[in-house]
Chain A
């Protein structure tokens, strides 16, 4: 079995920063990412965009440019990068299952840094499975990697920085936006958190985005309390309700977004110990100040450990790499403390914006307005009503819901329905989300065929 000092899973800002630092200090570092190039979510395809389409950077925005420097340093470092490689298994003994070019293999790592980033929070609304309904993140991915933008007027619905960022990118790229349907009200609760967020630069960036969107003449409809994607066979229109009344907009493309959550699929499958983050309404691994999990030698960096954003992710990556360097004897305790202190301070400064953002864009109550007919589990086609019925028959938690309804048993392994199913059960049974718990996730957490597993090296 192949081996390495440090395996880094994910080459976003967190993974790149961690791997660069660790490799420069002499560790044998291997970095796996399923994408063909480094960058992660925010800096997706950063190298091709910055080389071949330098002008594109203009509409992708200033923050995208910062990623180019990270990617260059990463490429220049001795870290071994394995693009196009999915990690489908991580064991507690730090054996890793990878798949590359259709070949599955196991690798033994001395330490592991998990930097698998965030996922968009699934937004189950009636009709969300119709062709023509996508997530903001998916649309942005197309914009970054293939420079693909919609040709007819699009509706964006939901809330959060990413939604406004895409809107601003569309405005800059000349894409027509029929409307932005902003869900929920901007709450007063955000006010106390304004100052730290301002200091971190977040508010300035946000205001600039909003200015750009307004200058583009985009119709922003606020206080949307209910949404429905309508159409026979594919999306034809979006119906909505605000506190003041109802409306309907004809469109072939609806982009949904309700913020991002830690991608806990891998960390749960190991399983590391997790805790429920009430503010961000998601599960995240329990980590110490250096990013170490409860399992010896396995640490988590960046958004995979809790949403902090791209800048925070890079600092968190370095912080976690420093801990690995200390643990493997590459730097002493004193050097570690000095270096870690710098990274931690910078990390905290960026994290300081989160309470503001979380309060400004509070996650929706995943169970509240879901009509019984709304699909919750897309793979097995289970509705909110079926989950409620299972609860009335004695189903007390998400793992039992699998047996009762098959929800969460499909190919996505509950990525799309886990939180919603748990929230429905919590609401029906009067329990908290941490009492209700989450699906037990089992490897392989990424696609693997029977033939590939059979040929495991």
Chain B
């Protein structure tokens, strides 16, 4: 690989969920893509992720994609031969007072008006039936039945392995340092030699801005450390993944009994080392939120805290679609803390754009030049 320049049909920069999903969908269409990953597959957001498969509360622009992605999640096992531990145990968002319940009703109304009926308003009793352990002060909420969660590392490796089986290659330890358009081909310099391909995909996550700027696209991204914590095993007490209207919370009990708590609290990113530092003042607030909605959690022992680096954009929406500055280059990065659910479909959109030159899903809101 080092001496000569290797050839592929498509070069994918970044071996997270989005890079592996693109590799799978391209390979399934008969192309030979190669994924260039700086470290190892799923080193960053795609293993640190909370793994929520959630349409509930999504930005209207993301809903059509999320709808299509959910159908792929339900078929993941058939498609990939491994289901990434996807469990459709539902998603719930809790209202703690009448004002929040009113906001729930408004939200459900808005999604209905757009033509989607997946969100269901819960009154006090319905909430208690769905989430018996919820704090007595909670008055209702929203539920989405077919949503759920999966194991991020397993889902990412499921795409990776199926892609490889279909002829894709994965090169780890191959950070992309430079890009060149030579005639009809992209030529890419990596830590493990040079590669050439007619088409390039930028799936570099929080580092996608650097690849975009090599292509000539200006796409602002703030690398952000999203923090999580997990408790010791507890007796089973909740099925759906739970969030809250008035607090930053993402809460789920895994089959093993451990409880995973997040909600978008930020730690610090060390750019040079790509490591993160936790902020325990912020985590204290995260713990407060978890215990407020689930009083049973106050006594739960924390086993581990961590953070993953995710790219966040000014409007909290990702960059998806063709480069505006360069030919035959496509973006799929900066998913702002909610790109796990979108992984299966965005890889498919990218493959469609490359193979068919178009997609039926509305990706205009995710244009790379929307801030230029």
Contact of B278 among A409, A442, A448, A449 (CB under 8 A): A442
The answer to whether B288 and A106 have CB atoms under 8 Å apart is no
> What residues of A have a CB within 8 angstroms of the CB of B301 in the complex?
411, 447-450
> Can you list 14 A-B pairs, Cβ within 8 angstroms, ordered by A?
A89-B280, A106-B281, A396-B172, A442-B304, A442-B305, A443-B278, A444-B302, A444-B305, A448-B301, A449-B300, A449-B302, A450-B231, A450-B302, A454-B291
Also in contact, A448 and B277, with CB within 8 A (given A411-B232, A454-B288): no
Q: Verify if B299 is at the interface (C-beta below 8 Å from A).
A: yes
Cα distance A280–B68 when bound, in Å? 56
For window 404-450 of A, CB contacts with B under 8 Å fall at 404, 409-411, 413, 440, 442-444, 447-450
Q: Verify if A199 is at the interface (C-beta below 8 Å from B).
A: no
Q: Which residues of A contact B (CB under 8 A)?
A: 89, 91-92, 97, 106, 394, 396-397, 400, 403-404, 409-411, 413, 440, 442-444, 447-451, 453-456
Also in contact, A449 and B298, with CB within 8 A (given A106-B280, A400-B40): yes
Q: Verify if B361 is at the interface (C-beta below 8 Å from A).
A: no
Contact of B303 among A106, A396, A410 (CB under 8 A): A410
Contact with A along B281-319 (1 / 0, CB 8 A): 101100110110000011111111110000000000000
> What residues of A have a CB within 8 angstroms of the CB of B278 in the complex?
442-443
For window 135-186 of B, CB contacts with A under 8 Å fall at 153, 172
Cα distance A396–B172 when bound, in Å? 11
Q: Verify if B42 is at the interface (C-beta below 8 Å from A).
A: yes
> What residues of B have a CB within 8 angstroms of the CB of A451 in the complex?
287, 291, 297-300
Cα distance A453–B280 when bound, in Å? 8
Q: Verify if B47 is at the interface (C-beta below 8 Å from A).
A: yes
Also in contact, A454 and B280, with CB within 8 A (given A396-B40, A403-B47): no
How many B residues are at the interface, by size bracket?
A: 20 to 34
The answer to whether B304 and A409 have CB atoms under 8 Å apart is yes
Other A-B contacts than A394-B40, A447-B302, 11 sampled, CB-CB below 8 A, are A89-B280, A92-B277, A396-B172, A403-B47, A409-B303, A413-B303, A442-B278, A450-B290, A450-B291, A450-B300, A453-B283
> What residues of A have a CB within 8 angstroms of the CB of B284 in the complex?
453-456
> What residues of B have a CB within 8 angstroms of the CB of A449 in the complex?
298-302
Task: Count A/B pairs, Cβ under 8 Å.
Answer: 75
Question: Which label, helix, strand, loop or mixed, suits the secondary structure of the B interface?
Answer: mixed
Also in contact, A448 and B42, with CB within 8 A (given A403-B47, A443-B278): no
Contact with A along B249-283 (1 / 0, CB 8 A): 00000000000010000000000000101101101
For window 51-81 of B, CB contacts with A under 8 Å fall at none
Cα distance A383–B258 when bound, in Å? 21
> What residues of B have a CB within 8 angstroms of the CB of A448 in the complex?
301-302
The answer to whether A453 and B304 have CB atoms under 8 Å apart is no
> What residues of B have a CB within 8 angstroms of the CB of A453 in the complex?
280, 283-284, 287, 302
> What residues of B have a CB within 8 angstroms of the CB of A444 in the complex?
302, 305
> What residues of A have a CB within 8 angstroms of the CB of B172 in the complex?
396
Cα distance A411–B302 when bound, in Å? 8
Residue of A nearest to B304 (CB): A442
The answer to whether B277 and A450 have CB atoms under 8 Å apart is no
- B287, B305, B306 pick with most chain A CB within 10 angstroms: B287
Contact with A along B78-120 (1 / 0, CB 8 A): 0000000000000000000000000000000000000000000
Cα distance A89–B303 when bound, in Å? 13
> What residues of B have a CB within 8 angstroms of the CB of A92 in the complex?
277
